[in-house]
Every structure is written in C-alpha cells, then in structure tokens.
Structure 1
Amino acid sequence: MSMSFALNAEPNTVWYNNRSLLQNTFSDDNFLMRIFLPHDIAVPSINDSIVPSFACGFFCAGSATSCDAYIFSIFFVYVSTDFSQRLRWPEIVWFANRDHPVGENATVQFTELGDLVLYDADGTLVWSTNTANKSVVSMNLTGSGNLVLLDRTNVEVWRSFDHPTDTLVISQTLQMGQKLVARTSSTNWTEGKLYLTESPSSLMASYVALKNGSLEVFTSFQETKAPDYHIQLPENSFGLEFARLDWDGHMRLYQWINYSAWVPSDIFDITDPCAYPLACGEYGICSHGQCSCPDVAIGQSGLFELVDAKGVNHGCFLTSSLTCGSARKTRFLAVPNVTHFNFVYNWTTNEDHCKLSCMDDCSCRASFFQHKDISSGFCFLAFNIFSMINFSAQSYSSNFSSSAFLKIQDSTHKSLLSKEKRAIVLVAGSLSFVTSVIVAVLIVLRRKRDEPLEDEYFIDQLPGLPTRFSFVDLKSATGDFSRKIGAGGFGSVFEGQIGDKHVAVKRLDSIGQGKREFLAEVQTIGSINHIHLVRLIGFCVEKTHRLLVYEYMPNGSLDKWIFQNHQADPLDWKTRLKIISDVAKALAYLHSDCRQTIAHLDIKPENILLDEVFTAKISDFGLAKLIDREQSSVMTRLRGRLGYLAPEWLTSVITEKVDVYSFGVVIMEILCSRRNLDYSQPEESCHLISMLQEKAKNNQLMDLIDPCFFDMELHMDDVL
C-alpha cells in the first residue's frame, strides 16, 4: 500500500498553529506535532510496514494536552495508515526558532513576495528566510528533508540545508563556516554551549558528509572524490538515518531499526569515558569514568554542591556564585593534576601570568596551565567550565604537569586560630614587616627594569591586534597633533595622513586603564567588523601614550548636523531616517551577532559619525563592556553622559538594553533637532523626554518638530 499527500506550496499561503492541522490525538503522548507540509509521509517498505519520512510543521516537546511553546521544524515522523490516529517516533532534524518558541495560533506565511515568515499569535515577527523580491514562486520539502524555496526555473533560492541546527541528514554537508550547535539539555531545545564546526587547519574537517552507510570527512579545500577520513556506520537497509550532536557532547548516529524504533550509536566511539565535554557535567572532575566535585577531589568541602544529589555525573555548581564588582574578593582554588577536556592553549607564558589574565577578566571562570618546562608552559582561559579530567589518572604523557585554577568567591570565615597562635602571628608579622618593605622595594625596582621587555612579550602574544604604530609615526602623521578636529572627556581627535590613508587619531589624555586592559579593548574592537561601526585601523601604546587610529569620517559627528540651527544645509527627512536605520543595525550587531554581547554604554550624537554620503557609524568604545551570553547583566560604575543614561544605572546593574534607551533619546533629538537636556530652554521645556510624555497625552506631538524644517513637515506621518 502506498499513500501520500506530499505537496508543494505556492506564495500567499498561510498555516495556523491550531487543530486545523493534522496532529497527534493521543493524550498520553509526551509531544504535540502539527503537520502542514509532508513529503511522502507514508512510505511503503518490506512486509507492508510503514517507516518514518520527513514532514514540516509545528512541534512542541511536552504534554500533548498542555503545550504552549512550539518550534517550526522539520522532522522524521511515522504516521499510521489512516493518517489520523497516530503520529509516532518524531525526531527533529531542523528548526527555525529554537530560541524563540511560539504559541497557539502562531502562523507560518509564504508571502506573495516569496518570503517564508514565522509570526507569533500577537503578530510578532520571529523568523524569516529574507527572500522577499528574489523571484521565489514555490516551496517544497524534498525527500532528503531539505526545505527549499524555488524560482521559476526550479533553481534553489533558499534551503534549510544551508542553515544547519544540530543534525545532519543523508546528502547534507556541513560546510566551512557552518556549525552544529547542541541543545541545552535533552528537554531544552535552545542553543547550548557545545558546537561542532570545521576548520582548514590541523586535523579539522573542511566539510562533513553523511552518506548511506558512512560518515565521510574531507580535509581539503576542494571537494574530491575520496574522503580524507572515513567512518563506516552500521548497515541500515532502509537508508533512514541521521547524525546529531547531542546536548552531552556525543555525536550520535540514529538509525531506523527493525521497523520499530530509532537506535542511537556513538559515531566516534571514543574509548575514554572522560573525553566528552559533559562526562561529569559542568565543574565535574572525571577519573576513569568516576565523577567528583573539585573541592572533594582535593580533600575540601563546602565550596561546591552537586547539581543533582542523586547523580554526581550531572555536575557541580559553586555554593557562592561569582559576581563581578562584588565587595567580596575572588580567589583561585588550585586543583593539581587536572586538565580541561579540550585544552587548547591561548599562549605560552608562566603560571602567574596565566592566573593573572583570568583574574583580571570578569568573564573568565578558570585558568588551566600545562608546564612545558620549569618556568613556562601553556595557558588556557576557560569562560565556560565543562568537565575536567584527572590528568594523573589517565594514560597521558607524564612529561609535564597540568593544573586547574578555578575562580571562586571568597566568603568571610571566622578565624580558627587560637589566642596563642594569633599572638605568634602578630609578633611574626611585626618582625617581618621591615623585611617585607625592603623586598617589595627591590621587586618594584626589578619590575620597572623588566617591564618594557615583559610588555613587548605580552603584546607579541596577543592574536588579532590591528596595526601597531609608534608614537613618532603618529606625531608625524598629524603634524605634531596640530590638526585638531574633536575633543571629548577621554581625549582629543586629530586629522592625519598615513600613506594614502586619511585617518583620525584619537589621543587619550589620561590613563584610566592599564596597558593590558587597553590592549584587551583594542583586541576586542579590532576584531569586530561592520559597515556601521567606525573601523579601527591601528593603535599605539608606548610608555604613557595611548592612541587609536580610526578611518576618517569627512562629515564629522551627528551633533553638528542636528543641533546647530544655523546649519546652511540641514539634513532632510530621508537622510535622518537613514541615520536612524544605520545606528539600529550597528546596535543589533553589537548586541546579537558578536561572540560576546557588546554594550557600548555611550550612545550619543557625538559618537555617531557620518561619512561622505552620510552613512552613520558608531564610534568610541572607551566605555564599552563585554557581556557573556550566559550572563543576564553586569555590574559596573556609572558611565556615560547625563541625558542619555537609562534608569538601570541607578542600580549599577546593567544590560545591553541601556544602549537601546540611549538610542531612543538620540532618535528624539534627531527628530526634534534639540538636545534631550537643554538648560537654555525655559524650565518646563529643558527636558525633551518629559515634554514628549506631556505632548503625547495631549495629542500634540507635532509641536515638538522644528517648524523650520519644512521637509519633515511634509513627512509628518512617517515622523510620528
């Protein structure tokens, strides 16, 4: 028997996430699935058995009677022969909105313009293929599980295979730059901390292809007929299989076996049970497959607790959470003979420098150090703590030692010393004070002597830095800093010429940060690249000199164009709208598309620069803060300019949303051609945001627009 209702979809089609779609009806199911685009969902096989096939629709992991979080996804599914009674054994192979589930009555719309869009029930845009106006005329789910959008000549304009999630199906390849990102847990579909990707270096793959019966790894740049690495997989007569990077770090092959179930097997079959990232959970130490918490491993207690008292392999957590800016100090817990499951050294240094680098970085959770000789070794800074391995217990080389230094929060403890011991300590401390002072002076003198060499060594070890200039070079480029084009609270900006490049050189007046902190900032800003961020060309760090070299922006900063009413050629509405859009794109990139969230913390017109065609670019990252993805906020001192500070600054606990508040203020200033705080105005008019609230209540928003700008009057509907 062969039954099928496979279909193509045409533009101007809408699917609603409700009971109008084919769904499972058994209340004891631990999932709810609604199908709207199947492909041969009933496939005949040996002995007239029905085997799973691909379908597309909404999936909810949870009780079928109380689901409220759905994912638009592609899945393997088995359907009983009458197509109405039972949907069984679903396995998700791709999802569009894993981090942003939708609710009942959400819609998937294949628009008239050829865009495939997911909206939540309240109309919120959740996901899109961004294929509008690209000649898309049809949508199809192929037999290999590839959701494709086609033009009139059946050329693929967009396909799900190019946007992998955590799974590879047969004929799908993981290309250079793509990655599989594991789920957070077996029941949580959101992106976890583990991913698999390809690199052209070392033994990493150029791409991976899952083919019937084997997993083939190609390490060359060009596709060849023969793979460089071949993993033979168990035979499967149906050809129904997929490979998934699971939440625990195992890469597993799932095969349809004996007409009845998906059977997993470990693809790489690593014999060492400790070699997986979550073998013992976060902070867990693995020794011959047995797990323990770090404090227990070194004979202490009270610093860590088990995530699950019933199973030590679920990991450990700090009893006192790490807090940036806390009054309590942090310290290191030294755990000898321990290494990280995937130790990749950041640089060669000594143990003290390795520890100091982690201590100075709030987001660093631990430093791992492996000695290559008595005085130096390899340093690895961990920002996520996965499972660790007892180095002495494994069959590794014993030519060098490895230690973990876990950052923990110090707590106040009562002294356990007796009165006699305290007296001894007091006397000993007094006697050693003078000696300590002498030693300290000698150390300072020696460090002063060695500091230039150490700094040069440190700079050489930092990857990804932009071009380094000497102070003499920049002094010459700016005509001895004679062509000043701007100034701010942290320094002055000078026009300069380096070769054929027109540049802006920012010279920091005061040193508010050390050399290493300055270099860390340069490294971060130099690594980001976006059309609406001013490009950092280079830097200078010599003695007390700190300079940054940026691309030159001929039209200067935005404030000169919106606050000076005598400007002979004021910005028209189209240009103002473009500037707003440009800044929004830059903030979206900083907040969402970088490895760490970057909060600028000083969004204002003076830090929005304009090029020759008035393309807007954000500049000046001197106050920026990096926020790890797992952090919801950071604690920092008040920074920024009065009038642009969000209310959250009152608590000193902020998120990237403070930039959104500042950007909102800037938008109002662009529209109204005046500053938010203008003390030259009458008292009742000096605060623009307060005026906005009052005018909105009285339906008088048009009064805020400068009547001198007739172009904005013509576009009043858009302005409002």
Structure 2
Amino acid sequence: MASALDSLLFFFLDLLLFPLSAMAQTNGSISLGSSLSTSDNSSWISPSGDFAFGFTPVADKNLFLLAIWFNKVPEKTIVWSANIDSLVLDGSKDELTSSGNLVLSNHQGQEIWRAQVTNGSVTSASILDTGNLVLRNSNSGITWQSFDHSTDTILPMQILDMGTSSTLSSRETETNYSSGRFELDFQADENFVIYTVNLPTMAHYNSYWSTSTMGTQSQMIFNQSGYIYLRHTNGSMHNLTSGNIVSTKDFYHRATLDFDGVLSGACGFNSYCRLDETQRPSCNCPPNYSYSDPSNMFKGCKPDFVSESCEPNGSGKGPRPQFQMMEILNTNWASADYQWYTPINEDQCRETCLGDCSCAVAIFKGANCWTKKLPMPNGKMYADFGGKALIEVPFGNSTSQIPSPSGSNNGKSDRGTLILIISTILGSSVFLNLLFLVAILLVVFFMKHKKLLRHQPEQISLGMNLRSFTYKELEEITDGFKQELGRGAFGTVYKGMLVSNAGNFIAVKKLERLVADGDKEFKAEITAIGRIHHQNLV
C-alpha cells in the first residue's frame, strides 16, 4: 500500500503548477449589498490579485458557472464552484444581500444556490490570497468558507477533515463541471478512499484506492510548501507526496481529482482503460463493441451485435459455430469473473467460452481461464499483466482486430476463413444469393455434361450413317463382354447398351477368326441388322 500512497498525486490528483507574477495588494473586503452579474464581466479579486470570484462562461458560452479561479493564468483554471449541477443563463446574479446572505439567482430571479451560514450574522465577505472565499461576522470571525465545501480541487493551506469538507467529487468530463464518476471521501473510520460512483443515483461501487489508515489520522492537509500529508491522532505525519516539490513562492499549486479518475475504475462498463503516450487514460471498446455515448468515452461500451441468450429450459451449453474469439493482449476485467478453470490450455479456454451461452469474454493466463459475462466493470490494459482477453464476437463482423489462434490450428483457421467468405456472400443480398445459386447449378450441369460426353462418343442415330467404335468403347458398352447372346460362324455375340439410348440393348459380335471373305460377310451381316432395325422403327 505504501507505493500507492507515495503515488497519490501522480495517479489520482492532477497537480497544477503556474508561474506567479507580482501585483499590488488591494483591499479585498466586500460590503453588504455588493453583487456580480453575468452581463458586466465583473469579479471580486483577492488582495494579491492571484484569485478571482465571479461568473465564467462554460460549455457553449451561453451557460455560466459561479466560481473561483486563478486570476493571473492565461487559461482560466477553476478551483471552486457553487453551481456545478445547476448552470445558469446570461442575466443571472450573485449578491451579498443587505441581510448578509450570499445568494445566486438565475435570469428569472429564482434562487439557485445560497451559502448556508451557521455561526452568526454576516457583515462582509472577501476572497483571500489562498483562494478561500469567506463570509465574516462583526467580530471578523469566519461564519462560512469555500474551503469547507470543496468541489474537485484543494489548494495549499486547505484541510480535509470529518465534516462538510471531507469529500472531493470529480467533474463529469473535462468541460462538463457536473458531479462526475469519482469521489474521494474521508470516511467515518478515518480511511481516505476513492470510489467510482453510479450516475445519476450517486451510489458507490467498491473503492479502487485507499490509504488503509483507519482510526490513525484526523486530517488530510495540503500545506503551504506544496506537500499533502495525513496528520495522525498521535501527532505523527504521513507524507502522501513523493519527490521534490517546486516552491509555492514561484508557482501556483492545486490538487484536483480529475474527471477520468486515472486508475482502473476510470472507464465504464465493457470498456477498458489504457494509458496513452502522455500517461493519461483513454477508454477503449473491445472489437465489435462501440461507445454507449459517442460524445463521452467514459460511459462505457455496448456490443454491436445481438448477444445469444440462454434458453430457460436448456443447459446453456454446447458449441456455437456462429461465434469466434478475438484477442486483446494484457487486458482484464478483474471483478467480472463467474467461473474459473485450471489447469487448461488456451484452445480449451476458447472452446469453454464458445460453449457457454453466458460467456462474453474469457481471460487466459498461464494455465488459468476465467469466464466473464456482461456487463463487465473496471477494465484495464497494463503491460505487466501477462495474459490476454478473448472476446466472443460473431463471424464476419470484426474489422478492428484479427483473430489470433495458436499455430496448431492452421487447418481450423483455413476452414474458418472459408466459412467467413461464404457467410459474407450469402448474407450480402437476395440478388447475390440467387446469382450464387445459379452459378453453382451451372457448374454442376457442365461438369455432369462433360462427364457424359466422355462416355458418349458413340452418339449416332441407328439407321443413319454407321460409325466405327474402338475396342475399348465396345468393351465398355458390353461391360467387358460379360453377357453372351450366342455364337456365329466367325465369333460370339454379346449384349451391350449405348449410353445415348438408355434402355435399348444392342448386340456386339466379337470376331474370333478371319477367312478370305470374312470381312465382306461381316459387313453384309451388319447391313442386314441395320435394315431389320429400320423396319422395326417403321
């Protein structure tokens, strides 16, 4: 846990450093009856000029936030705001009323926000050089201060302890100041934790970071030197910042719980967090998944296909050949397991998920396989994981990733490619389906016709011109001179059948000896046979 503590600012809190510039001190007291408006571009300034309090446009520039910001920084950097969940339109007003109430009203005069004073009446207000907006009573005592009602940022000289200042809430996005998905909380057990939050119910999921210091400290302090530490009840300190901190005399400091939460809880369901080249998190969707909200990648991902549901009366088991597994290296959804198999190899892990209608993703590492179902929270890609995520997707729908079967499955891969091609063709359109069917029929017809031609060289019409047959052809016609019909003077007669006249039998005479006039006699016999056949036809 020590390493997590030492990395608090680096991972969770965005530390901002801005160079200081000199400015003359002014009187920062604000009297009763003073007001600010969105239309006059006015603000209340701290004595040093380092901080300002007033309205600042956000989003589409037609909405306004009542906020405190660094006044000397070119890019207006907000450190506190009053109406993060209730932006106002132009014409709105903030007023320190004559009765001592600091009230924000919208353009229709409706009250949007009020500083809840609990300690006496207010006689003045001021914005301090620490960035703290305070309301004072007649004895100059503080009756209300912005440091007790932090939003997403703490500043040097600010303390978080049990009570109203015990929580930091992130923004929803970088440009949306509404309450976001992450919360740093000083719990009643004195443990500092960071949660992911379910919007809009604001219910807490399990914490993904904590100091694990229950009952040992009383405050988290951001001191003037730029260090953040825990002060324990026994007076000891535990530093949460590491390395050398640049001087607060030369730079502005702030610590902010960023809108992305930075660590594994940053991304929504079914997506996974990946640090980019600047070590900032980006949320990615698995293959065949897309962002639930394209304008906000932190809201998770949804499948681009209809997931197969388990039949109520079925076992939910069995092969699903219409699905395949795509892989993402070094990626895991650590808290979404429902089954664990070991020992097992990668092919078995793939088949296990494909055979389970509840399985959407399998994680394979070593000889272990964890199956997971949707929705999957807290996805993360990290280089030292050493395993891979196997994502179940339909055949033919994946373009963002390439399947990575093991080298022993080349045959399966080839068959899968063939199935993919055929599926793509058949699924394209009715016209292509018909064209594909006609092409198959034509191929079958020509192949059969070609085969028949090879066996039909004897196609003639009996009674017309005679033709010669080879011995091999005659051998095929008679099935190897198999059935004997009778014997003549010069040879034996066999039963045969021409392919072109299926069902009509012929007689084939095989000469066994030759005489001087044998050839003439044989031709005369053939002519007589042909004449008899012609008469039968008539």
TM norm structure 2: 0.47
Greater RCO (CA < 8 Å, at least 6 residues apart):
2
Larger Rg: 2
TM norm structure 1: 0.36
